[in-house]
Amino acid sequence: MDITKILSGLRLSSTLSAPLYLQIATALAAKIQDFTLPTGTKLPPERELSRLLGVSRTTAINAYRLLEERGLVSTRIGSGTFVSNDAPTFSQQTPTMPWEQLFTPGYKAPLSSIMRSLIDSPTADETISMAAGMPDPAFYPLDMIHSQLDIRRHPIDPTDLGLIATEGYLPLRRSLSAWQTRLGNSASADQILIVSGSQQGLYLVVKAFIEPRDYVIVESPTYLGAIQLLESSGARLLCLPPSGKIDMEIFEDYLVRYRPKFFYTMSDFQNPTGRTMTLAERQELIRLAARHRLTIIEDDPYSQLYYGAPPPPSLKQLDTYGGVIHLGTFSKVLFPGLRTGWVHAAPTVINRLAQEKQYVDLHTNNLAQMMLNTYLVEDALPAHLSSVRREYKKRRNAMAAAIRKYCGPLMDFDLSEGGLYLWGRMGSSVSPSELLRRSAALGISFVPGDAFYAHGLASHEIRLCFATHDEERLIEGIRRLGRALSAVSATASTAAESAGRPII
């Protein structure tokens, strides 16, 4: 038995969500259980295993440790690691389900683990997380929640706690349409569908409109959640070239050549770049879209978080042909756990989306909808918005000043006029993932730019959220980022010099 051959034939993948040690242990366990590695076989020492598989020694040690815990191998000090004499055989093991084989053939989002780790509470530990687009819990309107939960002050009509219309709690649809109309996005209640966050709104739109191989135009970079959803639907993404503004020639070329199903965009304070479309760009977009009967999905979590002048009118407001579907959410302005957002579109579209929503959750949680309705009816939102705008503006300014001070010439950025992010651009010799590794060791995090590009385009950018922490922690976070960046740049320069390459 050539054990080296057996082991070097093991297939490992760094893109799978399972860690490498677990992949190795699982593969070895399978070989033990099908007797390819019979009882008593001496396994290679950890150092040799790590060399054979091209992994670190710690990974090899952890794999053996796990197999030992499961009783499949035993370690004899001074002799090595052996397949146990009493290794449980297949017949002795509890039968397991081959889940992976039973799932429908599906898209494996290479970035889904990024999304999940972003959602991990950024304030739960000592790490200064500038990764997730999370508002600061200190600004959550707790007074409103406490008052709403006081049933004596706000008696609940028990019939409101039963099943309600999929489209949403009618009083909320009315108060939301009044709020949107006040902002210029004129809406009637039958044009509003309440959804469990705008991510669900986007999901319903994709379900209703997209068939595999349909084309969709997206900006580049764009929201990670949209890339994942669209790719999982089988859509083909037409990416607009990264630039400060939309290239209308390419946009029209896409329309004529590919007849895309829709254009997905964030017109205000885009995630991740913070960019806002000019009024002229919006008007030109609408002109082209109207001419080609193109649906536009305007995803708008950030328009009310402006730190200077309010942004220009939304695409929905400028819509001359009824083709804009507007997605809104309370996640960024109130709190993300509320899971309440809305879709504003033509009643025909709302009906179709409601049908899709019915298959998913019947309707969005009543209590959250009732709470929001009172909040809107009492007109408490404008004061809350003024207060968070004031605070986030201070934080944006603090982060910007700290980047200039600590990251100096190594990082460039444009000052976002709203939203939650600064988009840092670095030299092409700096690898954002290497920077993230070093930053994690210093107790800070951010999102590497690659996450926001479809088609795996390499990026030398990072997204920094300035909303989650107060100014003092943000400045400390950026000071550490500066240290990590200097170290990564110095290493990159040395490597380039020793390779005789010019340093860019």
Ligand X SMILES: Cc1ncc(COP(=O)(O)O)c(C=O)c1O
Q: Among 238, 251, 313, 319, which residue's Cα sits nearest to residue 276?
A: 313
Is 225 a binder of ligand X (CB under 6 A)?
A: yes
Is 303 a binder of ligand X (CB under 6 A)?
A: no
Measured from each CB, the residue nearest to ligand X is 197
Longest dimension (CA), the chain: 80
The CA distance from 341 to 499, in Å, is 53
Q: Which is nearer to ligand X, 201 or 482 (CB)?
A: 201
Is 301 a binder of ligand X (CB under 6 A)?
A: yes
* Least distance between ligand X and beta carbon 63 (Å): 36
Q: Are 344 and 303 in contact (CB under 8 A)?
A: no
Is 422 a binder of ligand X (CB under 6 A)?
A: no
User: Which residues ranging from 361 to 390 are in contact with ligand X (CB under 6 A)?
Assistant: none
* Least distance between ligand X and beta carbon 342 (Å): 9
Q: Which residues of 70-97 are buried (b: 16+ CB within 10 A; e: fewer)?
A: eebbeeeeeeebbbbeebeeeeeeeeee
Is 452 a binder of ligand X (CB under 6 A)?
A: no
User: Which residues ranging from 175 to 204 are in contact with ligand X (CB under 6 A)?
Assistant: 197-199
The CA distance from 207 to 477, in Å, is 40
Q: Which is nearer to ligand X, 336 or 482 (CB)?
A: 336
- β-bridge mates for residue 326, sequence order: 298, 344
User: Which residues ranging from 121 to 150 are in contact with ligand X (CB under 6 A)?
Assistant: 133
Q: Which is nearer to ligand X, 53 or 353 (CB)?
A: 353
Is 295 a binder of ligand X (CB under 6 A)?
A: no
Q: How many CA within 13 A on the CB side of residue 94?
A: 3
* Least distance between ligand X and beta carbon 386 (Å): 22
Strands, sheet with 73-76, edge to edge from the N-terminal-most edge strand: 42-43, 80-83, 73-76
The CA distance from 464 to 468, in Å, is 10
Q: Are 275 and 229 in contact (CB under 8 A)?
A: no
Is 341 a binder of ligand X (CB under 6 A)?
A: yes
Q: Which is nearer to ligand X, 133 or 424 (CB)?
A: 133
Single out the residue of 220, 331, 416, 445 in contact with ligand X (rule: CB under 6 A). Answer: 331
Question: How many positions of this chain bind ligand X (CB under 6 A)?
Answer: 14
* Least distance between ligand X and beta carbon 302 (Å): 7
The CA distance from 465 to 65, in Å, is 39
* Least distance between ligand X and beta carbon 48 (Å): 46
Q: Which is nearer to ligand X, 198 or 220 (CB)?
A: 198
Single out the residue of 219, 268, 299, 319 in contact with ligand X (rule: CB under 6 A). Answer: 299
Is 271 a binder of ligand X (CB under 6 A)?
A: yes
Q: Among 320, 471, 493, which residue's Cα sits nearest to residue 401?
A: 471
* Least distance between ligand X and beta carbon 388 (Å): 16
Output DSSP code: residue 235.
P
Residues interacting with ligand X, by CB under 6 A?
A: 133, 197-199, 223, 225, 266, 271, 299, 301, 329, 331, 336, 341
